[in-house]
């Protein structure tokens, strides 16, 4: 094969190793500090004599989309670049003695940028990833969402994988995972926003475990 032919063939070989990925993720998370703050806000509303229609419920689960790309390194290994966006809303709705309605909405957002390494053995696999999580809690202000708490943290993720190939170009993967926070989020601003007592330790890691269902499109 001539040098020119190799140069022409190389881009197509590189492209053929790339898979696009799109999927959905859901998890259960450890948010004890956050939930304690929400409980304090509920108790404050009751102490103020408000009639609660709905109170802040615990933040126990998240769900959202997972998109990105995978670059195959031979038949058994791959590097993945992923973006995952997950979130939930929490709401307190109450009425005062003069029938004035008070509504407080909190919009939780977890946006993660991940780079990972996957090992694939036929139908099975496992992987690791390091991710930067951009965490926000937003309020609705003049019909727009505005963040009153915004911080970042590094996290590590470990997953197992089960692959189902429909053909040589499309596969489905079910990936249970556990995510461990390397850094904590300081929730002091949440206590301040809700006007409740600041905890002696306001740090929260939001470590979690969950499941991702991913579709890969490209040479398998």
The pLDDT score that the predictor gives to residue 57 is: 96
The pLDDT score that the predictor gives to residue 4 is: 44
What is the rounded CA–CA span in Å between residue 52 and residue 70? Answer: 48
Residue 37 reports pLDDT greater than 60: yes
What contacts 110, CB < 8 A, 6 or more positions away? 62, 64, 84, 85, 86, 87, 133, 134, 135, 206
The pLDDT score that the predictor gives to residue 41 is: 96
Q: What percent of the chain has pLDDT over 90?
A: 75
The pLDDT score that the predictor gives to residue 9 is: 36
The pLDDT score that the predictor gives to residue 10 is: 38
The CA-atom distances, in angstroms, between 45 and each of 107, 108, 151 are 19, 21, 27
Q: What are phi and psi of 29, to 5 degrees?
A: -125, 155
1 or 9, which is more confident: 1
Q: What is the DSSP letter of 6?
A: H
What is the rounded CA–CA span in Å between residue 116 and residue 133? Answer: 14
Q: What domains lie within the chain, and their CATH numbers?
A: 16-217 (2.40.160.20)
Segment 194-208 shows an average pLDDT of 96
What is the rounded CA–CA span in Å between residue 93 and residue 190? Answer: 18
Task: Give burial (CB, 10 Å; 0-12/13-18/19+) of 49.
Answer: exposed
The predicted-structure confidence for 9-30, as pLDDT tens digits, reads as follows: 334 444 458 999 999 999 999 9
Instruction: Name the helix (H) or strand (E) containing 92.
Output: strand 77-95
CB atoms within 10 A of CB 193: 17
The pLDDT score that the predictor gives to residue 113 is: 98
Residue 79 near residue 26, CB atoms below 8 Å: no
Residue 49 reports pLDDT greater than 90: no
Q: Which residues pair with 176 in a beta bridge?
A: 211
């Amino acid at each position: 094969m001539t040098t020119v032919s190799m140069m022409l063939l190389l881009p197509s070989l590189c492209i053929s190793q790339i898979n696009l990925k799109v999927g959905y993720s859901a998890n259960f998370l450890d948010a004890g500090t956050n939930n304690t703050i929400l409980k304090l806000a509920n108790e404050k509303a009751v102490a103020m004599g408000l009639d609660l229609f709905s109170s802040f419920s615990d933040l126990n689960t998240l769900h959202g989309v997972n998109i990105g790309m995978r670059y195959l390194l031979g038949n058994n290994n791959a590097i993945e670049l992923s973006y995952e966006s997950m979130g939930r809303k929490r709401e307190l709705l109450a009425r005062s003695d003069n029938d004035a309605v008070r509504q407080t909405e909190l919009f939780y957002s977890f946006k993660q940028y991940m780079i990972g390494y996957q090992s694939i053995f036929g139908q099975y696999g496992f992987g690791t990833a390091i991710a930067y999580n951009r965490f926000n809690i937003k309020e609705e202000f003049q019909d727009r969402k505005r963040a009153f708490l915004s911080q970042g943290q590094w996290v590590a993720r470990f997953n197992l994988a089960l692959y189902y190939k429909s053909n040589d170009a499309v596969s489905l993967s079910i990936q249970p995972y556990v995510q461990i926070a390397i850094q904590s989020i300081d929730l002091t601003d949440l206590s301040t926003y809700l006007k409740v007592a600041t905890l002696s330790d306001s740090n929260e890691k939001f470590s979690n475990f969950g499941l991702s269902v991913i579709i890969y499109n490209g040479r398998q």
